[in-house]
Amino acid sequence: MASTTSESTVVTGLTKPATEPLLSIRNIAKHFGKNIVLRDISLDIAEGEFLTILGESGSGKTTLVRIIAGFETANSGQLWMSGERLDPLPPYRRRVNTVFQHYALFPHLTVEQNVAYGLRVAKLSDAEIVSRVEQALSMVKMKEYARSKPAKISGGQQQRVALARALINRPRLLLLDEPLSALDANLRRQMQVELKSLQREVGIAFLFVTHDQEEAMVMSDRIALLRSGELEQVATPREIYRRPATAYTAQFIGHTNLLPADIKDGVARYKSLSWPVQLPDGPALFSLRPENIRLAGISNDPIGDAVRFRGKLRHHAFHGASELLQIEHADGLVLWVRIRSSGGGWHGDLEFEFSPNDAAPVRESQTRD
């Protein structure tokens, strides 16, 4: 594989930075025996960017970061960092550091010895090591645990130590392999905020791996959605949510209604629904988010050319701030609708409306093994 172009058909989203990308992943492919894990991945990461690789388990996301860290070798393709080949270097020569899923703290070393590890093996002076370790530990608020062994501190604290240990080496790129998956929900939300603000503070590019779409949305500058070893879409969280490129993206990121419509003369039709589009004739798939549908006639902010439909409540789930309703129309049309919580008590025929602009055309996702 000697391809030097880094353009990929699936890369959309941010306009490419004018400067050279920090890391350029070019046509990376990897298989373990007959099991193909990654096929032709191309992706650029900019300086200071928070990029999330999002995917289900088995999508190949961990393999991709392990290739970048140097623990696995790709079968084809190249990695470039700031204009230099990265992939021939062993892991210990790459200016990339990793926060491991289960932290991988050295159990025989104290917190401060763990954090100092990278500087020790680089044979820095004791004075510099001491001051940088202190700085790193106060950055993650772990100074008072400096002399503790990893087994004596909590999961969240271990997480912080792992972060300090990786960042103290001032890497160009920090890889985070599902670092929050072992934490409970509250701590996780708190760490998401902390991680994001820490990333802004240090200005180091983060490549974050997760299977949790909400986590990806909250933290990332861009999300790269990986599916069975291929990139499905790369875009900002807003764009990937509002304009999902494929049906898979629309369903994986958030909750959606998929409408397999037929277009004829600028009008899309699906069952009893019809709305104007500016697309050529033929079958087309649309994604309509549940929160873009609302009860008709209760808002004093009318939608111009609203599409209206009536239906009966079939199922209803209370989510706190919002409620999810499953509405069934007489012709068998079933749609999910998210509305703000109210007193409840819906019954009989209800009327709903949505704006045609919110029905986003998506590509059919290819079916793969």
> Under the rule (CB under 8 A), what is the footprint of another protein?
69-71, 90-93, 96-98, 100, 102, 104-108, 117-118, 120-122, 149, 151, 165-166, 169
The nearer residue to another protein, 119 or 253, going by C-beta atoms, is: 119
User: Closer to another protein at the Cβ: 100 or 346?
Assistant: 100
Query: Least distance to another protein from the beta carbon of 100, Å?
Result: 5
| Shortest Å distance, C-beta 48 to another protein | 21
Taking the least distance from each CB to another protein, the nearer of 126 and 214 is 126
Handedness of CA 179, 182, 185, 190 (dihedral sign): negative
C-beta of 11 vs 111, nearer to another protein: 111
If the CB atoms of residues 119 and 360 are measured against another protein, the closer one turns out to be 119
Handedness of CA 252, 254, 255, 257 (dihedral sign): negative
Q: How far apart are CA 74 and CA 285, in angstroms?
A: 35
Distance in Å, CB of 77 to another protein, minimum: 21
Q: Are 73 and 94 in contact (CB under 8 A)?
A: no
> What are 332's two structure tokens?
């068998």
Other Cβ atoms less than 10 A from the Cβ of 11: the count is: 18
**How far apart are alpha carbons 231 and 247 in whole angstroms?**
14
Nearer to another protein, 118 or 254 (CB): 118
Task: Give the distance, in angstroms, between the CA of residue 170 and the centroid of all CA atoms in the same chain.
Answer: 24
CB of 71 to another protein, least distance (A): 5
Measured CA to CA, the distance from residue 106 to residue 84 in angstroms comes to 31
Asked if 140 and 160 count as a contact pair (C-beta separation under 8 A), the reply is yes
Nearest approach in angstroms of CB 247 to another protein is 36
Q: How far is CA 99 from CA 20, 62, 66, in A?
A: 25, 12, 11
What is the three-class DSSP state of 168? coil
DSSP codes joined into one string, 41-87: EEEEE-TT-EEEEEE-TTSSHHHHHHHHHTSS--SEEEEEETTEE-T
Rounded to whole angstroms, the Cα distance separating 357 from 257 reads 14
Question: Are the CB atoms for 220 and 208 separated by under 8 Å?
Answer: yes
Nearer to another protein among residue 99 and residue 253 (C-beta): 99
Q: Whose Cβ is closer to another protein: residue 93's or residue 315's?
A: 93
Smallest distance from the beta carbon of 122 to another protein, in angstroms? 6
Minimum distance of another protein from residue 28's CB (angstroms) = 19
Least gap, CB of 187 to another protein (angstroms) = 21
Q: How far is the CB of 21 from another protein (least distance, A)?
A: 22
Integer Cα distance of 27 and 11 in angstroms: 13
> 2 or 151: whose CB is closer to another protein?
151
Query: What DSSP character marks residue 284?
Result: E
Distances in Å between the alpha carbon of 250 and those of 35, 163, 237? 27, 32, 12
